[in-house]
Amino acid sequence: MTGQAMTNGQAIRTQGLTKRYGELWAVNAVDLEVRTGEVYGFLGANGSGKTTTLRMLLGLVLPTAGEAEVLGMPMPAARQKVLPRVGSLVESPGAYPHLSGAANLAILDATGSDRSPRQLRRTRISTTLEQVGLNAADRRPVRAYSQGMRQRLGLAAALMRRPPLLILDEPSNGLDPQGIQEMRRLLQQLNHEGTTIFLSSHLLAEIEQMCTHVGVLHSGRLMLQERLDTLLRPTGMAAVRTPDTQRCVALLGGSVVRVDGDRLLVRAAEPARLNSYLVGQGLRVDEIGPYRRTLEQVVLDAETRA
């Protein structure tokens, strides 16, 4: 978390946000809470309602019920005030295929209610393109771009006006591993400078490396919303790997939670003490350490609870 995160402004808040398509509850009574300065990872399988939620936050889809506030103002009612301060990437990036990347950004930047002076716009476009790793002098039309380049262009469109809040849907889509890393660095840097980031993904590793907070959406319901370090803190259990499984179980009895081959899960507040106890009893210990759940387990647990 950055220093900025200590200011407790609300970046996004929803109450009972719901979207129904006929019989299908795409988003069902979701209460999101994202505070200024957070990097909030919005997790969920494809079709879990992530994108619909994002679209409601941006005023593209109108909710069936519930309320949404973005930057402290109601959406979609205050969209003319809110949206100029939000940068967004919604699903696949869209661009006019016959124009260059810079020309696309210029068109986008020339629209909207908050027009800036021409000179500022021009420099802003080239710096943003460089920032996302595109060549500002590239005159090729977007139709010649690779998917990764399109994704970068979409990100550039979101960043162009230096918004205090970024809402990004699957930002690493179509990027190669190096591109993903570059994007992560860029977003982290922006977050350090004070930008709040709300991003959706189904890639757990990406969320785990970047986010301070996590929300898990499953079949339109928010199953979990928590700080990442709280979710992944030690569980009061130790993971032990030993060839002497039988003896170990006999010795520890009820405090063994699970046995899986040569791995044991043992209830123990201090793994170091458990280690010296086991070794003192003449057991061979290959590995021992505090047991933490992975984000994957956290998500699976949350989803199976449903």
Partner 1 sequence: MITVELIKMLRRPRTWLIIGMLIALPTLVAVLLAITDLGPRPGTGPPFLSAVLSDGTLFPLAALGVVLPLLLPIAVAVLGGDAIAGESQMGTLRYLLVRPVGRTQLLLAKLVTVVAFVLLAVLAVAAVSYVEGRLLLGRAPATGTVSLSGSTLTQQELTWRTALALGYMIICMLGVAAVALFFSTLTRSSIGAALGTVGMLIASTVLLGLDAANALHPFLPTRHWLAFVDLFRDPILWRDVTRGLIVQLGYLTVFTLAAWANFSTKDIDD
* Residue ranges in 48-67 that form contacts with partner 1 under rule CB under 8 A: 51-52, 55, 58-62
Q: Which is nearer to partner 1, 42 or 291 (CB)?
A: 42
**Least distance from C-beta 111 to partner 1, angstroms?**
5
How many chain residues touch partner 1 (CB under 8 A)?
31
**Residue 243 preceded by cis peptide, ω within 30:** no
Binding-site string for partner 1 from residue 86 to residue 115, where x marks contact by CB under 8 A and - marks none: x-x-xxxxxxxxxx-------xx-xxxx--
Q: Pick the closest to residue 75 from 93, 89, 52, 55 (CA basis).
A: 55
* Separation of alpha carbons 63 and 45, rounded Å: 21
Q: Which is nearer to partner 1, 157 or 190 (CB)?
A: 157
**Least distance from C-beta 305 to partner 1, angstroms?**
29
* Separation of alpha carbons 9 and 43, rounded Å: 23
Binding-site string for partner 1 from residue 10 to residue 49, where x marks contact by CB under 8 A and - marks none: ----------------------------------------
CA distances from 209 to 16, 61, 235 (A): 29, 30, 20
Q: For residue 237, what are its two tokens?
A: 């259990």
Task: Tell me which residue has tokens 């950055």.
Answer: 2
**Least distance from C-beta 78 to partner 1, angstroms?**
10
**Please, what's the largest Cα pairwise distance for the chain?**
77
* Separation of alpha carbons 276 and 258, rounded Å: 21
**Least distance from C-beta 30 to partner 1, angstroms?**
16
Q: Which is nearer to partner 1, 56 or 268 (CB)?
A: 56
Q: Which is nearer to partner 1, 167 or 183 (CB)?
A: 167
Q: Residue count of the chain, please give it.
A: 306
Sign of CA dihedral 275, 279, 280, 283: positive
* Residue ranges in 138-167 that form contacts with partner 1 under rule CB under 8 A: 157
For partner 1, the binding residue among 47, 72, 84, 236 (CB under 8 A) is 84
What are the start-end ranges of the H helices in 39-135?
Answer: 50-57, 79-82, 101-110, 118-131
Q: Which is nearer to partner 1, 98 or 284 (CB)?
A: 98
Binding site for partner 1 (CB under 8 A): 51-52, 55, 58-62, 79-80, 83-84, 86, 88, 90-99, 107-108, 110-113, 157
